Structure 1
Amino acid sequence: MDLLDIARWQFGITTVYHFLMVPLTIGLAVLVAGMQTAWYRTGKQRYLKMTKFWGKLLLINFAMGVVTGLVQEFQFGMAWSSYSRFVGDVFGAPLAMEGLLAFFVESTFLGLWIFGWDRLSKGVHLACAWAFSLATVLSAYFILAANSWMQHPVGIELVAGRPRLTSIWAVLSNNTVLAAFPHTVFGCFAVAGSFLIGIAAWQIARHHRKSDPDDEDRRAWHASIRLGAWVAVIAFAGLAVSGDVQGKLMFQQQPMKMASAEALCHSEAPASFSIFAIGDVRRPDCESVKSFTVPYILSYLAEGDFHSEVRGVTALIPEYQAKYGTNYPDDPRLGVFAGQPINYVPNLPVTYWGFRFMIGFGALAALGAVVVLWLTRKRKFPEGRAWVPLAVLSIALPFLGNVAGWVFTEMGRQPFVVVPNPTPSGVDGVWMYTASAVSAGVHPGEMLTSVIALTALYGVLAVVEVFLIVRYVRGGFAGVMPPTPPEGEQESDEALSFAY
């Protein structure tokens, strides 16, 4: 493999691993704050147990997310220094906001929440939980604003071959981030909802199946299942609506990405939505592909009506060549790509199946949540044991859907790392090929060494996180709650300080 391929593998491995932590942290943080609010308002012990148990798992995941996220910043300078120089003037502002306004607030109030159980009033302590959770969501917004600028650059001018920021408000109000943010947040809640369902179902099946339905622990697990199921169902509905909005923007801003998502090689009017395809979708002429489709749906997804034309790959290639050239610049810094023809078609199997996996995994998770709501109605719990392993395995579905969605988003914009704005309005010439973004001064052997080292390190971290999660899941509520005082002794006021 050449330097670019190795650098892309490194970025893909580290980013996908990090993103496994991010949606669970965001979704679970808000749900834990909601659980604590229920305890604050009702005083019911089961809500306190839920807050402490799910809060413990949140902290483990948050810590791992911080550790794995640090690598992202280092690899920008190590593997993608040309990219860092190109986008630095623009990314400085949103990333500084993420670090100072979001992550700093997030970490501060998380610390107060962890150590403030017996030192802060219940109201102030609850406010810390909400400050932490909302700062986590805000942090995601700033990161998405930077990513959305790469998908649709705005608020800049080209000076000496580099984009210079002219309006931070334009970057933060980019229509791409306004569509991507709710879609991402709904995806986070889908992950957190399935996480609650799987673990709570396992707890009831293992420890509380034969207990009294009015047993406080069983009621707490049952409440967790119901909360997770409702959150997952609502999240999928939000994903469908926000995904439709995001899809229409992609058809305008990155038509090649959406044509590739459908393996639509030839323009159609009206255009059909492909359910799945049989054949070699790697060939841009699609001569060997047989696709099973639903008529008119793709036209609606693209333009909001059922009869509009959707341009295919073969029609878009000459448009891209006319706008951006047929060959890479003859620059030795591009290595093997210098002067070579540019392939404007993304990896069709990845974009086509990534799009379907994203939708399919999300739909399966939502269907499972609906089934769980039906099976657990009126504080019931199914007698059969087969559904418990399925509930536990379903935890993976929204994780896989999120990963597939991000792989599609990032791979679909190739060969660009910063995509051209189709309606420039002052940003003419602002785009960057992925081949131009990699660090030219790094030897492929050095890059391969870092890939192996980071992959091994992340593997160790994965074992540590799974071990900690499993350990505290097995411990249940007893592992996070203070011990019950001996009969006749009054519970100490400091009992609630048995936290983290």
Structure 2
Amino acid sequence: MSAAELARLQFAATTGIHWLFVILTMGLVPIVAIMHTRAAFTRDPAMRAVRERMTRFWGQLYLINYAVGIVTGLVMEFQFGLSWSGLSKFAGNVFGAPLALETLIAFFAESTFLGMWIFGWGRLRRGVHTALIWLVALTAYASAYWIMIANGFMQHPVGYEVRDGVAYLTDFGALLTNPNALIALAHITLAALTTGAVLVMGISAYHLARGAEDTDLFRGSLRLGLLVGTPAAWFVVTAGEAQLPLIRRNQPMKTAALENGDIAQVQARLVEEHGPGDYVFAHDWLRISMDAMTVISYTVSSVTIVAVVLLWKGRLWRWRPFARLMTAMIPFPFIASLAGWVVREVGRQPWIVYGELTVEDALSPVSRASLAVSCAVFIAVFVALAVTNWTLIARFARRGPDAAQLGATEPLPDDVPGDVPGDDADERPTVPAY
């Protein structure tokens, strides 16, 4: 493999694995926030206890994914200097600020709010504690927004001018409202909600099928998963299709590959526009990924709709084969998301910033041997982290709510009482304490 191919493989592998953590984080955190809100403001003590256990159980799975996944995110931006110094030199003045804001939000604001939420069980008033998990969700999506702003510029650069071979930002508003970034963010948001909801539904169905004692907890979780996942899975296809006009207008070779167009004609057009070069890429990957994403999206959408019908008829709890199908469906959204990134990233080759900077020109002057070593090390570490993450999630998911440690704290003498109207401050529970 050439140095460019090794650098691309390294970035593709590490980004792809990191994305598996990100999409689950984005998908689970709003669901956990909804659970916590319902638990915090439920008046009935018995129902509140069920919803608190529900929040702690799913919150712990979310925390496992976040804690392991944040390690993978620490090295992502360093690769711009390691392998792609040409990209940093050309476009650093434009998307350096979005990347810096993403880092500040993800590794400072989001982590701070999450830490306060974790250690706030039994220490903070219900309203404050609930607001913290919603701030975690807000910062998670704000982080995704800034990443998509940077990626959107690479897909379709706007709001800039090139002077002496370097891009300079001229219109910050155009950068922030780049349709290539905003529509993709909507697509990613729906994909993330689908992923989180399918995980919640699949694990809940697993416990219900095996006759778990926490029937109310897992039935409530499954209902909430369907409430979030059914519309998300339905509209994620619509948001994906909304990007096609942009692709047709801005990336003709990707359009030709996806729609079986005249590759040779597009090649001649791009040579005329951008100068001599090979603008044809391995489009078989593109078609396979697009087909996989489409088939999985329609499959998940169909299964959730059937589940809603069965729920309405009261048969969802009793039909075990369908419950096992919902459990087996857990990996599907992850596969579809990876396929979506292949379509988005492979389809703009040979450009790294479309129409302005090629992959070859962006490559750092690093030896092939150094890239081979770093590629092997990075991929090995990332794979190990991914295996660790899913092993822990599967283990705690199988154990159920009784294994959840989140919020299992003894009250302190100066802890605040519950502030829900009608709450009896002298009869608050010990674990978790409010």
Is TM (by shorter chain) over 0.5? yes
Summarize deviations over 1:432-486 as a string: whole Å, max 9, x none: 111111112x111111111111122122212211221122112211112788x9x
Name structure 2 gaps, 5 residues minimum: 411-425
The aligned residue for residue 325 of structure 1 is 275
The question of whether the paired residues in 1 share the 8 Å contact of 2:195 and 2:333 is answered with: yes
The aligned residue for residue 374 of structure 1 is 309
How many angstroms does 1:252 deviate by?
A: 0.8
Whole-angstrom distance in 2 between the partners of 1:497 and 1:416: 55
Summarize deviations over 1:240-283 as a string: whole Å, max 9, x none: 32222211111111121121112323xxxxxxxxxxxxxxxxxx
Correspondence 1:128 to 2:139: no
Whole-angstrom distance in 1 between the partners of 2:367 and 2:33: 48
The question of whether the paired residues in 1 share the 8 Å contact of 2:208 and 2:317 is answered with: no
The aligned residue for residue 235 of structure 2 is 238
Alignment partner for residue 439 of structure 1, among 364, 377, 394? Answer: 364
The question of whether the paired residues in 1 share the 8 Å contact of 2:193 and 2:228 is answered with: yes
Letter of the 2:291 partner, please give it.
R
How many angstroms does 1:392 deviate by?
A: 1.7
Summarize deviations over 1:34-72 as a string: whole Å, max 9, x none: 111111232422221221111101111111221111121
Name structure 1 gaps, 5 residues minimum: 212-216, 266-312, 327-341, 421-430
The aligned residue for residue 11 of structure 2 is 11
| Residue 70 to residue 180, structure 1, CA distance change in 2 (3 Å) | same
Letter of the 1:2 partner, please give it.
S
Whole-angstrom distance in 2 between the partners of 1:154 and 1:234: 32
How many angstroms does 1:497 deviate by?
A: 4.5
Whole-angstrom distance in 2 between the partners of 1:244 and 1:384: 34
Taking only aligned residues, the RMSD between alpha carbons, in angstroms, comes to 2.1
Give the TM-score taking structure 2 as reference length: 0.90
Alignment partner for residue 87 of structure 1, among 88, 91, 98? Answer: 91
SS in structure 1 at match of 2:76: helix
Alignment partner for residue 202 of structure 1, among 203, 206, 211? Answer: 206
Q: What does 1:415-494 align with in structure 2 at a 5 Å threshold?
A: 415-420=350-355, 431-440=356-365, 442-480=366-404, 493-494=429-430
Q: What does 1:401-420 align with in structure 2 at a 5 Å threshold?
A: 401-420=336-355
Give the TM-score taking structure 1 as reference length: 0.79
How many angstroms does 1:362 deviate by?
A: 1.1
Whole-angstrom distance in 2 between the partners of 1:389 and 1:493: 35
SS in structure 1 at match of 2:204: helix
Correspondence 1:66 to 2:66: no
After the TM superposition, which of the residue ranges 92-101 and 190-199 deviates more from structure 2?
A: 92-101
Whole-angstrom distance in 1 between the partners of 2:206 and 2:233: 23
SS in structure 2 at match of 1:413: coil
Whole-angstrom distance in 2 between the partners of 1:361 and 1:392: 15
How many angstroms does 1:491 deviate by?
A: 6.9
The question of whether the paired residues in 2 share the 8 Å contact of 1:417 and 1:432 is answered with: yes
Summarize deviations over 1:105-142 as a string: whole Å, max 9, x none: 21111111000011110000000010111110111000
The aligned residue for residue 48 of structure 1 is 52
| Residue 231 to residue 493, structure 1, CA distance change in 2 (3 Å) | closer
How many angstroms does 1:389 deviate by?
A: 3.3
The aligned residue for residue 266 of structure 2 is 316
The aligned residue for residue 495 of structure 1 is 431
Q: Would you say how many aligned residue pairs link Structure 1 and Structure 2?
A: 414
Q: What does 1:170-209 align with in structure 2 at a 5 Å threshold?
A: 170-208=174-212
How many angstroms does 1:409 deviate by?
A: 0.5
The question of whether the paired residues in 1 share the 8 Å contact of 2:307 and 2:316 is answered with: no
Q: Taking every aligned residue pair, what percent have the same amino acid on both sides? A: 38
Q: Which structure has the greater CA radius of gyration?
A: 1
Summarize deviations over 1:139-177 as a string: whole Å, max 9, x none: 100000000000111111111111011222221111211
How many angstroms does 1:102 deviate by?
A: 5.2
Correspondence 1:26 to 2:30: no
The question of whether the paired residues in 2 share the 8 Å contact of 1:118 and 1:496 is answered with: yes
Whole-angstrom distance in 2 between the partners of 1:233 and 1:173: 29
Correspondence 1:108 to 2:139: no
Whole-angstrom distance in 1 between the partners of 2:427 and 2:401: 18
How many angstroms does 1:94 deviate by?
A: 0.8
Whole-angstrom distance in 1 between the partners of 2:157 and 2:59: 38
After the TM superposition, which of the residue ranges 369-378 and 23-32 deviates more from structure 2?
A: 369-378
Letter of the 2:158 partner, please give it.
V
Whole-angstrom distance in 1 between the partners of 2:314 and 2:33: 23
After the TM superposition, which of the residue ranges 367-376 and 182-191 deviates more from structure 2?
A: 367-376
